[in-house]
Structure 1
Amino acid sequence: MTTPFHGVQLADLAPWHAELTALRRRFHQHPELAFAEHHTAATIAQLLDEYGYDVTTGVAGTGVVGTLRLGDADRAIGLRADMDALPINEENTFDYQSRQPGIMHACGHDGHMTMLLGAARYLAATRRFNGTLNVIFQPAEERGFDSGGQRMVDEGLFGRFPCDAVFAMHNHPGSPCGRLMSRRGPFMAAGDRVFITMRGVGGHAARPHLAQDPVVGAASIIMALQTVVARNVPPDKTAVVTMGMLHGGKALNVIPAEVQLGLSVRSFDPAIRALLRQRITDIVQLQSASLGLSAEIKYVEGYPVVCNSEAETTLALQVAAELVGEDNVDGDMAMLTGSEDFAYLLQARPDCLIRIGNGEAQANKMLHNPGYDFNDNNLVTGAAYWSRLVERYLPPRAS
């Protein structure tokens, strides 16, 4: 006779809310940038050791993996949380604000780590699964290229810590707190970066005819790039080309000899990704040549598309509905033009990335905003969700 599955409920972890909140705020006070998460990693490793996990540190530099094996099943699951903060000066004034000037957890990684640690603690205490659990704390998600997720996979993450599937969670400001959201297939965009250096001939502002002005060239290119999506990408496809950096000149009476520009490029389709690269390159080179300038382009292909696996996403959404109810789950969330280096993990294993609402009041303090803060009301929900997912993916032996 098979014992019916009951699974963890929100009430089971509710008594831990104050402890999880204190831990999350401790992380928030001590943010660290990509591949420098030494204090963060030490804290995670100590806690996992206390919970009874086999702990491996130094994975891809500062990453930490905790492994817990129970029973005799050979099935394994991976749960991943990101660790790094951002080079942003925090504007919040609460008592747990960042103690590191110019660095803050403006993307909620402090909350992601805490939710996973809460689940790790609960699962070690209840021991209600059969198989292997790997909790993966990944460095350097925010780099955009040469990231922690990429390094972990390249350095043999899944050879060292076998997983049949891997899952991740990210908070989502503007959606109701605790609402769980995902979609099958393409979910988050590929993200590329373009660094452009335009060179001309500097000169006196009063004699522009004797110079070759890269500032004018930069302005021309910026406007021309606005046509890349509008006039080259089919209307039923999604793409974004954003000029995020422009540096040139130091004095009003000097025409500089050089200007730097930086682009962020997002797409979901490999053919569109290639088209964007070709059109951006052509526009930069041809516009520069028409003005007697030269242009050096460094085109860096960043994170791939996050493409959620069918079976794993179906399970993830079922578990979400069991925990918070169908009304608090969106299984057909719109595709997001943000990027995530969890994409590298999904290229190696079946996966699902799920989003958790951070609160509608956060709509004007989105991710990467100096006034952002993770919603502590999500800590119990996230920890309970991970716990229930593990219990469902690695069901205990029938009694």
Structure 2
Amino acid sequence: MNLIEPILAQAAAITQLRRDIHAHPELCFEEVRTADLVAAKLTEWGIPIHRGLGTTGVVGIVHGRDGGAAAKNGRAIGLRADMDALPMTEFNTFAHASQHHGKMHACGHDGHTAMLLAAAQHFSKNRNFDGTVYLIFQPAEEGGGGAREMIQDGLFEQFPMEAVFGMHNWPGMDVGKFAVSPGPVMASSNEFKITITGKGGHAALPHMGCDPVPIACQVVQGFQTIVTRNKKPVDAAVISVTMIHAGEATNVIPDSCEIQGTVRCFSFEVLDLVERRMQEIAEGVSAAFGATCDFHFHRNYPPTINTPYEADFARRVMAGIVGADNALAQEPVMGAEDFSYMLLEKPGAYCFIANGDGAHRATYEGGGHDAGPCTLHNPHYDFNDELIPLGGTYWVRLAEEWLAHEPPADRPMPVKG
């Protein structure tokens, strides 16, 4: 691997920062301590900062050797890392395990912050580019839509940039590999809540009421025909009913039955189709059985869609660091990511950096990792600190290469749904 030596030399110090963040996890829009740490380090390294976008967001402003003059002509790039943790209890007992019960960095955002800090420290002493690099430390990715909030607070107006890039660690891939691809790489996240109201009564006298439970069963079965018979077979979509609530006693037909779940897909066209057909089926089936239906569909994060030029550009940078064989095609996943909001506004690419299989935890003094699976959103998870110099090198090389070349004026731009 072609790592940047000064970043490698500072990796141990950045690792200590990462473990400090891991030990003090903060949830959506509560990342005060984390933001303070980030702001303090950037200031210590002579990097101007802006605080407060999205409540706790921090933006570092790194002007190149030209003092940022080229940014006046649009030469600027954004690099984003998320900072928040998850509302779950950590099972690990190593020295840097969470000190706050019910809060845990189980998705590696502590590592994402550390990798961007590693790049920031290098930029502070090595500005081998003309233009400006914006270091975006974003709050509230885990359900809070922190990216959306930063945008609404003026992120791209205050800090104009040609493109924006994000990165997430990916367990199960061997360390030393990246993955990126053009097009959809993560799905949209959506929720539904449907209440079917009939007429309750005695379970031994079903003919005197309108039982919402079998109606709900028909609705759930009907939803699967949307996936198999309404959308194109080549278009991916998932409709998962994850909750059905009804009744309080075995001999009572309830008045109502509630259905909840999630919908995931990679395009706005498919999402429009799924939402429309779900409502038609839920309301139509309910009416056919003499019941009423209250249908609610909430769109959370949009799909994460990489623009082609930026994804190919990122792959070339990766190949220069780890070799072409280790710059892999990114397999789309049905998980969601609020970096998608940024990619609706700016061209860019969201990539994966391999986090390994969890064996790194065995190197901790005293152990304490409980040998559980090191997968995302798992109580045994921990970010692999071996990624810090690799991720930091990627951020630096990406920014330097981007600002050394003018992107084509006719490259594809994001398309909003």
Code of the aligned partner of 1:133: V
Aligned in 2, Cα 1:344/1:203: closer, same or farther, shift over 3 Å?
same
**Equivalences for 1:158-237 in 2 at 5 Å?**
158-203=156-201, 212-237=210-235
**Equivalences for 1:84-99 in 2 at 5 Å?**
84-99=84-99
Conserved 8 A contact 1:8-1:387: no
**Residue of 329, 349, 352 corresponding to 1:352:** 349
* 1:48 pairs with 2:42: yes
- For residue 363 of structure 2, what is the aligned residue in structure 1? none
Q: Secondary structure at the match of 1:73?
A: helix
Q: Secondary structure at the match of 1:32?
A: coil
2: distance between equivalents of 1:26 and 1:255?
A: 54
Q: Secondary structure at the match of 1:135?
A: strand
**Equivalences for 1:338-377 in 2 at 5 Å?**
338-361=335-358, 365-377=374-386
- For residue 70 of structure 2, what is the aligned residue in structure 1? 73
> Which sits farther off after the overlay, 11-20 or 334-343?
11-20
Aligned in 2, Cα 1:203/1:106: closer, same or farther, shift over 3 Å?
farther
Structure 1: gaps spanning 5 or more residues? 1-6
* 1:58 pairs with 2:58: no
2: distance between equivalents of 1:320 and 1:100?
A: 36
Q: Note the C-alpha offset of 1:51.
A: 1.6
**Residue of 289, 293, 296 corresponding to 2:294:** 296
- For residue 333 of structure 2, what is the aligned residue in structure 1? 336
Q: Secondary structure at the match of 2:150?
A: helix
**Residue of 134, 145, 148 corresponding to 2:146:** 148
2: distance between equivalents of 1:271 and 1:41?
A: 38
Q: Note the C-alpha offset of 1:252.
A: 5.1
Number of residue pairs matched by the alignment: 387
Q: Secondary structure at the match of 2:58?
A: strand
Code of the aligned partner of 1:353: Y
Code of the aligned partner of 2:341: Y
2: distance between equivalents of 1:11 and 1:86?
A: 33
Aligned in 2, Cα 1:393/1:252: closer, same or farther, shift over 3 Å?
same
TM-score calculated relative to the size of structure 2: 0.85
* CA offset digits 1:51-105 (Å, max 9, x no partner): 2121111102111111121313221111011122222222333332222222222
Conserved 8 A contact 1:17-1:380: yes
Alpha-carbon RMSD across the aligned residues, in angstroms, is 2.5
1: distance between equivalents of 2:89 and 2:247?
A: 25
**Residue of 18, 21, 24 corresponding to 1:30:** 24
1: distance between equivalents of 2:90 and 2:246?
A: 27
Aligned in 2, Cα 1:295/1:33: closer, same or farther, shift over 3 Å?
farther
Q: Note the C-alpha offset of 1:118.
A: 1.0
Aligned in 2, Cα 1:114/1:261: closer, same or farther, shift over 3 Å?
farther
**Residue of 7, 12, 17 corresponding to 2:11:** 17
Q: Secondary structure at the match of 1:358?
A: strand
Q: Note the C-alpha offset of 1:113.
A: 0.9
% identity of equivalent residues: 43
* CA offset digits 1:200-249 (Å, max 9, x no partner): 44455666555544444433333332222122222211111112333444
2: distance between equivalents of 1:207 and 1:40?
A: 61
TM-score calculated relative to the size of structure 1: 0.88
Structure 2: gaps spanning 5 or more residues? 360-371, 406-417
Aligned in 2, Cα 1:245/1:173: closer, same or farther, shift over 3 Å?
farther
Aligned in 2, Cα 1:253/1:108: closer, same or farther, shift over 3 Å?
farther
* 1:122 pairs with 2:156: no
- For residue 261 of structure 2, what is the aligned residue in structure 1? 263
